[in-house]
Structure 1
């Protein structure tokens, strides 16, 4: 065995598809002293038994773009390396056996067109022609995607590693990692069975074992293995050559040929978790027990779809472990806890499809400090610490396996690992019939007045009238919106102002008593966050960040604070925030003894409500007058009781989103991300033109390049239309953009949306929105749809 080097710029741990792809791309980017450590042999974990389907379409543009990169990479690797990767491009066929699934796959077809993927609807008869062995009696329709394919996982990894070694990178098999060295929260080296290697960064690509290896470096990596099954048969009549992949997601199945027989895999409704420790270092090219009892329900469904299975001779029922995360998306990027530790794991059974593009993006993170394009939905820092609990992972991971083929209904919520974090008013909200949704572990009310579980659908939702009443209250009387789960970061110290002037693009030097809206930008001038700040004193600010962004944003600010005399403190759980909004908000505040009317717009002040000390900030996220009122978490129940006794009623996130979209307010993860900047989103007014902040130079260049606002508001003509987000926007028959956030606009009286366009459009322009392959006419507004002057929220 070759000797380990004393030092490597980057050490990759794990020799599966993610490790090999990351090594290859690091070498391509010039990091030729990178090394890969595999404790057994390459591909000996999950990769070798992958069904290896490569289906490009995903729910977002950038995840789709990432897999398109994989497709391109795999199809050219043989030419680059001489190593055959077994690339077979026979397409995929997604069938629907109920009307909601048909809507779902037609929404996917619409997305495919927006993302430049060839996909088209076909009839059940045409589907039968492409898959003659299929029973198509109950098929309503299908979508055909000719560019999809599959590869040989081991051969892909062999090609990637061969190319990487040709560029100077090194691989060491039979070299287990026994420890990870850190100093002051930063990676310094790796201890192995063959010696110690000092390094600047680690790429953790350890699949099934990622949680345990991450813990060696003090990092949280919430991923858990589940059993995953597919059936292999011996050759059968009717299988000639290679077939498309058949996706029968209503029956939880995927099907294709394999060596003249059939491969029938499943993502059953509830999987089987594997407790940590069961898969130890001896688990190499290994499988778990067949478990026919567990597979039997899936087998019955497969027999219905493929009658030829009745006489087929079974070769084996393969049971191979796969790792799953709490939300079904992989983890990529630097951890919050340990600088220099980068994750490329938790692939949720799409490792081969994602591996090429994910490895490229992970290498890009290591070399450049960020992925090649926005992948915030896969950010390694997105999970609340509570999700790293084995108990919660054991409950959640099996459900995630089962949701792999779910219909993407609006409003869908996961059922397991719930009630992990309660807002201060949890009991009050449940008494008011709140339907809860989970965000960063918090249970937040989506709407109130629930009398039974809503039936999920693509048409007008069951909660439509509930939300209408909540918006009506905010518009005509008073409503309470709970912002308590928003992250709150206190910045204190003599350099507080200087630090925030550097790290934020907004006017952070305003006097104490000010509320400041600001973008937080990276060196590229694009969004890292979008926050409000309250200046409490000369040396004290409180930053309010997104509910699911606290871990990411706290890490960002902490690393930006190097060299400044400041202290950053997460005070999220100390304070409750209640937004009292509506025409009667002032009347209620006065009745409770608070002099809030004297607070100017975007100012804050201390006061007393119902005998309780509060800080009231005059601003509005919903376009109605009111205050965001901060109080001690323990005081929230008494304050809420006093407000509701005077006629205020609680309102949930669905009402807030509707009102936000009517006002044209952009939000992180929807209209704002690291691919766009304040100029493109109409938020340049809130940036300092004299500069002095991170990203200023890039923003100046964007301005000089003639960049303009690309966010538009839409009102659809058809009051019964139900856009839910990501729908393609057409102008004169050509796709010019996509919707981002959609809702019903109760104050407008029609379905509404925010969206991004690549082609400038005029105010009042007529466009079309593709909702599941049905075109809906809409009118463009450049600016807010409701109260464009903002008069109502400033009164």
Structure 2
């Protein structure tokens, strides 16, 4: 075989067939789908087929919502039965904490137009006769959810794709992805090659190993997933909603007069760590009734009819899971033109339609169709494909699907992977470590006699008092933060300035030692990255970005270098730890320690230079992410502990304390500092995100400029990021994300992030508000807004500027 195609899809499960179907729908029909055995034979065929639409975030919800809408019409379109039934779902809460989680989800659902209802235990029993409700705090009813036959719906999408000309080849194994000069050029089969412009890896639990052969990281691992199907139960209603009891790790669905009971148990069983057999096809794994028995014991109490029902089938089949329980989607950072759709964490069926449509549009347009950072493969780090890491993390992530989704929830497994040079010292000082992109970083420092363990809550968590002390000390004295997890890149070469000026919205042709705050934009004017750029010399620059952006932003920078340009990007994160000294006494402290003049004229805000600290030379940049006078300190890794020791030794006289990232989040909320991926992203322009001040409007050329000019000419943004303060300090709940912002009884926006502001003593948030006539300060001041939290509404004050030090006097002092 020696053929050509525009797109080759590897894998004939529900994801692969959905992508083929949607490519054909938008006119891309020169598509070949290669399935190593038969369609659905890996994981799809044994999926439970639950079709729920409310997910943890806006973007995943939108994809699931579209899937439900697609399933309502797919059978009529293709003539292939799907078994789709929109019989709704019930989510039960045994505790008040779980009930709050569900009610917060119900509020979020209204942002997306999803119908959701808070119901009583009695109303639950009416919708699901025979379920035990006496111990419930309440439930949520989602009438537009349902269930589907996974194999049938996959064949329906495959049929729809074939009808438009897509070729689907079964018993056709892709032996290798073919690449050339960093781009995909096709696939190798046993009997020849298929050349292609684009290739999609949708091979389920085989995807990681196939990608690894060409140096591409797709972090996923298979785990055993259990369910039973009873014998027919007399009188079982055929229209029963899907039932979830997450507090018991279980779900139930009616199945042809029988009941399917499945689970996501707290400690899972990873599988396939030594490889998956070539012959695996419609296979199941050995039964493990001892493992499932605790789930069944609780289920018999929840649904007493199970006590007298025989078990017709005990099923155990593998599904693939990722380190953060979100699937892997999009173009890989390592190879241009190579896409992935895999690692679905048991939500593949309910996500399939949205995934297929999103990836088809991405392939067609050359960019994501919307904000997909939650599932974008570029959020992952290369080390996360390590098999031992995946094995340990997968034991936890399967169960987290049904565990409490607490704010600030920390993983317990596969920890301690990336540590700064200060890690052990900080532990000795009472640090409670949290994780970001594999980095261990302090969340807070426990006061004397207090625990470093996190007591979770939707209200004030156990570290509230410790973080308050850190914030107040930062306002009064000086606080040391370990920010080594921030990603750092260098760009060097004769053409480095030209590359950065094209990539960056702000002007980067600045004097040596100047720090530029800027955004990297896409062609639609959306924000791809939010970074600082420090000019080190005429031909060298340092770029700093958030930890989670390391893979994504380095890929964006590298791909922005034109072929033949004399510009070379390098990732220096591991070799350049960073400390931050923040507070009104930080200048006097550093001057005392270094013997240097660091006054406002010697080192103005937004500038950087090297100074001696102890026996080392360190780069300090006068910047802040907490709204106080402050400095970032960059020290080569081999000098880092020495500098840290000198800072600690000299700090007592200046009231030096230690702070963590919970305090940073609190203080950045008071100042309205944006966080990429939460408050600003690929669909938000700088004007919408309130960072238009960073745009170099006089520049003649930068990526996204034309889109920004069109937006500016259109007048005031009709959608704008605002600062939010809930009224009533004592009774106001905490904001986290996606809480609806209400005006005159209607949702006009949503919260993007939130925290308690200790320096202003208020529950705060950031969020977007929309108004057809433009969002202005006058519009915000002249209207009465509310924020809905867990189905209750609270008065809120909205404004464009920060609540703390609006004149930036403390920063510029």
TM-score by length of 1: 0.98
What residue in structure 2 maps to residue 594 of structure 1? 596
Cα offset, 1:5, TM superposition: 5.9
* Secondary structure, counterpart of 2:481 in structure 1: strand
Match of 1:711 among 715, 718, 721: 721
**Structure 1 position 286 matched with structure 2 position 283:** yes
Structure 1 CA distance for aligned equivalents of residues 419 and 287 of structure 2: 41
* Secondary structure, counterpart of 2:184 in structure 1: strand
Match of 2:745 among 722, 733, 745: 733
**Structure 1 position 758 matched with structure 2 position 776:** no
Task: Check 1:765–1:475 CA distance in 2 against 1; reply closer, same or farther (3 A cut).
Answer: farther
* Secondary structure, counterpart of 1:470 in structure 2: helix
* Secondary structure, counterpart of 1:506 in structure 2: coil
Structure 1 CA distance for aligned equivalents of residues 716 and 197 of structure 2: 37
Q: What is the CA RMSD across the aligned residues, in angstroms?
A: 1.3
Structure 2 CA distance for aligned equivalents of residues 238 and 442 of structure 1: 54
The runs of at least 4 aligned residues of structure 1 exceeding 4 Å deviation read: none
What residue in structure 1 maps to residue 464 of structure 2? 464
**Structure 1 position 783 matched with structure 2 position 801:** yes
1:595 touches 1:607 (CA, 8 Å); kept in 2?
Answer: no
**Structure 1 position 305 matched with structure 2 position 302:** yes
Structure 2 CA distance for aligned equivalents of residues 681 and 142 of structure 1: 36
Structure 2 CA distance for aligned equivalents of residues 244 and 703 of structure 1: 49
Cα offset, 1:631, TM superposition: 1.2
What residue in structure 2 maps to residue 640 of structure 1? 644
More displaced 10-residue stretch of structure 1: 32-41 or 449-458: 449-458
Task: Check 1:235–1:89 CA distance in 2 against 1; reply closer, same or farther (3 A cut).
Answer: same
Structure 1 CA distance for aligned equivalents of residues 482 and 141 of structure 2: 45
Gaps of 5+ in 2: none
**Structure 1 position 314 matched with structure 2 position 311:** yes
What residue in structure 2 maps to residue 338 of structure 1? 335
Cα offset, 1:82, TM superposition: 1.4
Match of 2:667 among 659, 667, 674: 659
Structure 2 CA distance for aligned equivalents of residues 626 and 167 of structure 1: 61
Task: Check 1:278–1:293 CA distance in 2 against 1; reply closer, same or farther (3 A cut).
Answer: farther
Number of corresponding residues: 792
* Secondary structure, counterpart of 2:377 in structure 1: coil
1:133 touches 1:238 (CA, 8 Å); kept in 2?
Answer: no
User: 1:540-575 CA distances to partner (integer Å, 9 max, x unpaired)?
Assistant: 000001111111111111111023210001011111
* Secondary structure, counterpart of 2:531 in structure 1: strand
Structure 1 CA distance for aligned equivalents of residues 548 and 29 of structure 2: 37
What residue in structure 1 maps to residue 161 of structure 2? 164
User: 1:25-48 CA distances to partner (integer Å, 9 max, x unpaired)?
Assistant: 111222211110001000111001
Map residues 341-380 of structure 1 onto 2, 5 A cutoff: 341-380=338-377
Structure 2 CA distance for aligned equivalents of residues 240 and 713 of structure 1: 49
Cα offset, 1:765, TM superposition: 4.4
Structure 2 CA distance for aligned equivalents of residues 428 and 466 of structure 1: 18
2:2 touches 2:192 (CA, 8 Å); kept in 1?
Answer: no
Structure 2 CA distance for aligned equivalents of residues 782 and 488 of structure 1: 31
1:680 touches 1:707 (CA, 8 Å); kept in 2?
Answer: no
**Structure 1 position 328 matched with structure 2 position 331:** no
Map residues 42-57 of structure 1 onto 2, 5 A cutoff: 42-57=39-54
What residue in structure 2 maps to residue 579 of structure 1? 580
TM-score by length of 2: 0.96
1:526 touches 1:674 (CA, 8 Å); kept in 2?
Answer: yes
Structure 2 CA distance for aligned equivalents of residues 62 and 84 of structure 1: 29
Structure 2 CA distance for aligned equivalents of residues 418 and 651 of structure 1: 21
**Structure 1 position 244 matched with structure 2 position 241:** yes
Match of 2:202 among 201, 205, 212: 205
Structure 2 CA distance for aligned equivalents of residues 127 and 238 of structure 1: 18
Structure 2 CA distance for aligned equivalents of residues 490 and 790 of structure 1: 30
2:671 touches 2:805 (CA, 8 Å); kept in 1?
Answer: yes
Map residues 611-690 of structure 1 onto 2, 5 A cutoff: 611-645=615-649, 646-647=651-652, 648-690=656-698
More displaced 10-residue stretch of structure 1: 106-115 or 606-615: 606-615
2:54 touches 2:109 (CA, 8 Å); kept in 1?
Answer: yes
Structure 2 CA distance for aligned equivalents of residues 67 and 628 of structure 1: 42
Task: Check 1:641–1:764 CA distance in 2 against 1; reply closer, same or farther (3 A cut).
Answer: farther
More displaced 10-residue stretch of structure 1: 71-80 or 530-539: 71-80
Cα offset, 1:694, TM superposition: 0.7
Gaps of 5+ in 1: none
User: 1:587-643 CA distances to partner (integer Å, 9 max, x unpaired)?
Assistant: 111111233222011111111122320111111111100211111122222222222
Map residues 122-521 of structure 1 onto 2, 5 A cutoff: 122-449=119-446, 451-452=450-451, 453-521=453-521
1:83 touches 1:159 (CA, 8 Å); kept in 2?
Answer: yes
Structure 2 CA distance for aligned equivalents of residues 91 and 328 of structure 1: 24
* Secondary structure, counterpart of 2:788 in structure 1: strand
* Secondary structure, counterpart of 1:154 in structure 2: helix
Structure 2 CA distance for aligned equivalents of residues 238 and 308 of structure 1: 10
Task: Check 1:5–1:162 CA distance in 2 against 1; reply closer, same or farther (3 A cut).
Answer: farther
1:764 touches 1:780 (CA, 8 Å); kept in 2?
Answer: no
* Secondary structure, counterpart of 1:270 in structure 2: coil
User: 1:688-717 CA distances to partner (integer Å, 9 max, x unpaired)?
Assistant: 213401111111122222342611111112
Match of 1:695 among 694, 698, 704: 704
Structure 2 CA distance for aligned equivalents of residues 196 and 478 of structure 1: 63
What residue in structure 1 maps to residue 757 of structure 2? 745
